[in-house]
Amino acid sequence: MTSGSFQNLPIEEVNLDTSNPRIRRFLEIYDQTDIGDHHIGLALNAPSSDSPTALADTTTPSRLRESIIANRGIRQPIIVDKRTDGSLVCIEGNTRLWIYRDLHKKGAKGDWSKIPALVHEGLENESIDAIRLQAHLVGPRPWDAYSKARYLHELQNNELMPLDRIVALCGGNQRDVTRSIQAYADMEEFYRPLCEPGEFDAERFSGFVEYQSPRVQEAILTNGFSGVDFAEWIKDRRINTLQEVRQLPAVLKDKNAKAVFLKEGMKMAVRELDREAENVELQKATLGQLAAALESKANQTSMAELRSFKEDDGSTLRHIEAAIDALRFLQTQITGDV
């Protein structure tokens, strides 16, 4: 890939990239065919000057917009590919280009009619992929987890890019990349068919990442359930958080907790587990005594015990995490640091 040439391009001559994963995700969710800058702005989470707080996830784009205005432009040029037909496509920097267009349209103070760009001619697909991966998987403005996973899945299965090459471009590790790709595939296979148009919630993707745990999948399968059942639990929010996915093995193993989970969800099922685990003698101890005993026990934990904790269906870790949360809350109440 050549280094490209620096140019100040007229903003209307550069096309926003509709193959950008964030933009594609939005267009598919809302089944948009007549695409305008307004739709792309929503997809990029780029708030307009008319409604700067219209979206929930706009912190980074808002700050980017403020920085561009304060500096009277961008410091890092966008990256543009000049295609064989002469068209210009923004490969990296769609949000910055959109902001320039919006500022120009609104008549903002300054000259927003041209944007600094690094222009390449006839980039190969692999070069475009490398630019996107470096900018949005390990760069300052990462894509959301679902969009990342989708792009990685396409590189591996559509463009047949070797896994080691994908990992090298991502700067990550093979285990995480593999889990992400498979989580995307499972979400598309099990979850998407359950959703009506516009109902698909990509924010639930993290649950399918946790679903990749062999321990979680084994617990689901050995109890007569499947990936479709898991997707239904995720969709109807019987499972709501990552921690709750990790608790599935312990809950499904316990007859009473399992029944509660299927009827009322994970939160109530965990309460059932906690109720069964209560020890009357421990309840008689003061909080200070329990805290001192817990500190001593934690400091004396052996490597053998640590290994056993990793194999106990996550019940020990679950209680530790719940205790930490409760103690931190109690600490703020005692110190007044709220």
Q: What are 207-227's pLDDT values in tens digits?
A: 999 999 988 999 999 999 999
Cα separation, 26 vs 44, whole angstroms: 9
CATH topology of domain 5-141: 3.90.1530
How many degrees, rounded to 5, is the angle at CA 275 between CA 269 and CA 312?
70
**What confidence tier does 259 reach under pLDDT thresholds 50, 70, 90?**
very high
Closest residue by Cα to residue 238 from 261, 208, 216:
261
Domain ranges (residues) in the chain: 5-141, 144-201, 213-272, 280-335
| Burial class of residue 318, CB neighbours in 10 A (0-12, 13-18, 19+) | buried
Report CA-CA distances (Å) from 63 to 4, 11, 58, 204, 223. Answer: 28, 21, 8, 26, 48
**What confidence tier does 55 reach under pLDDT thresholds 50, 70, 90?**
very low
> Is a pLDDT exceeding 50 seen at residue 57?
no
> Is a pLDDT exceeding 70 seen at residue 25?
no
pTM value > 0.85:
no
> Is a pLDDT exceeding 90 seen at residue 188?
yes
* Identity of residue 139: G
Cα separation, 84 vs 86, whole angstroms: 5
More confident residue, 289 or 78: 78
Cα separation, 93 vs 132, whole angstroms: 10
